[in-house]
Structure 1
Amino acid sequence: MAKFFIVFLASAICFTTLVHFAAADADDFDRFHIKGSVYCDTCRVQFMTRLSKFLEGAKVKLECKGRENQTVTLTKEAVTDSAGNYEMEVMGDHEEELCEIVLVQSPDPECGEVNNQEFLRNAARISLTANDGIVSNETRTINPLGFMRKTPLADCPQAFKELGIVPDVTF
């Protein structure tokens, strides 16, 4: 009888623990931690080079819009730290919406140009739903977004030579 009671008690404790884990995970399905970085494209080539620099104080905005009518359903802003990184936390499932992080403002007057024709440089789409097949529902890491410098640095041709590329940029 004592063995039965011990087995029953151990089973009850295991079951209770499992229920608590399941409840905690269910609560996390609508909480997303977003992180990314912003840099200055010092060579105007639309990718990072050794001359690129991360920007402290750059502003980015998360914006979600309805797929049908493009009505804005969520906006949230963040500012980059001394390493050029930003973070924000978002609550709620946005499966039926298009969400993206967009560049808003550069702290550097020499590096503040945004080319609106280049979607991938100025904005990054983000999935904010647990129903998307992404294993980690908690963290969404965004590719770096870059502001373009008004004129390329003089060292850019040497950096390209080191990379073995010939960019479509006039110096």
Structure 2
Amino acid sequence: MAMAVQGSRHSDFFVEGEVYCDTCRAGFVTNVTTAIQGARVRLECRHYMSASGSVERSAEGTTDATGHYRMELVEVDNRGAELVCAVALLSSPVPECHEMEVGRDRAPVTLVQDVGLATMVRRANPLGFLQTMLARYADTDTRYVDTKMRHL
């Protein structure tokens, strides 16, 4: 009986990842990036041949205190190979860290069962918001900020 229950859940996928604040605007996770709690993300899947680009499957998630999110897509059929999926940033609750940068605002995810993975959990690359320049230098002398801002 336990096998039947486990088998019925086999077609469910879990997509997870992290959202962070790029405090130094490096373009990647560093030792000074911080996790964002309450950031919203959306998983969208489109058929790779769709002329309209309409979304066939979607799910939304919110990050926890560690910046981690986890979304479940129930009953993904074998057409997963025909879908092009990506997790995208929606919003950040942090006013000084809400700027999205093209290229780091989304991460592709494969929702295919027979790719050699032993789990139905799919990990997306970390997604990051950029901290505003003024917030970055908030604790410094304002003359320094003004000089730096003029040269950017």
- TM-score under structure 1 normalisation? 0.70
Give the corresponding residue for 1:32.
13
| 2:85 and 2:108 in contact (8 A); partners too | yes
Give the corresponding residue for 1:58.
39
1:81-136 deviation line (CA, Å, top 9, x unaligned)? 111111111121322110110000011111111122x2xx11111111203x2322
For residues 116 and 23 of structure 2, what CA distance do their matches in structure 1 show? 33
Give the corresponding residue for 1:80.
63
User: Secondary structure at the residue paired with 1:130?
Assistant: coil
| 1:31 and 1:90 in contact (8 A); partners too | yes
| 2:21 and 2:97 in contact (8 A); partners too | yes
Q: Percent same amino acid among aligned pairs?
A: 34
- Give structure 2 stretches of 5+ with no counterpart: 138-150
CA gap of 1:95–1:27, structure 2 versus 1, over 3 A, is farther
Offset of residue 49 of structure 1: 1.4
CA gap of 1:29–1:95, structure 2 versus 1, over 3 A, is farther
User: Secondary structure at the residue paired with 2:44?
Assistant: strand
User: Secondary structure at the residue paired with 1:56?
Assistant: coil
Number of aligned pairs?
Answer: 133
Offset of residue 68 of structure 1: 1.0
Instruction: Report matched runs for 1:51-130 at 5 Å.
Output: 51-69=32-50, 70-91=53-74, 92-93=76-77, 94-116=80-102, 118=103, 121-130=104-113
**If each structure's helix is expressed as a fraction of its own residues, which one has the higher value?**
1
- The 4+ residue runs of structure 1 with deviation greater than 2 A are 23-29
User: Secondary structure at the residue paired with 1:95?
Assistant: helix
| 1:30 and 1:129 in contact (8 A); partners too | no
Q: Does 1:139 align with 2:121?
A: yes
- Give structure 1 stretches of 5+ with no counterpart: 1-16, 155-169
User: Secondary structure at the residue paired with 1:101?
Assistant: strand
| 1:56 and 1:83 in contact (8 A); partners too | yes
For residues 41 and 111 of structure 1, what CA distance do their matches in structure 2 show? 8
Report the structure number with the largest CA radius of gyration.
Answer: 1
| 2:87 and 2:108 in contact (8 A); partners too | yes
For residues 63 and 30 of structure 2, what CA distance do their matches in structure 1 show? 20
User: Secondary structure at the residue paired with 1:82?
Assistant: coil
- TM-score under structure 2 normalisation? 0.78
Root-mean-square deviation (CA, aligned residues, Å) is 2.1
Offset of residue 26 of structure 1: 4.3
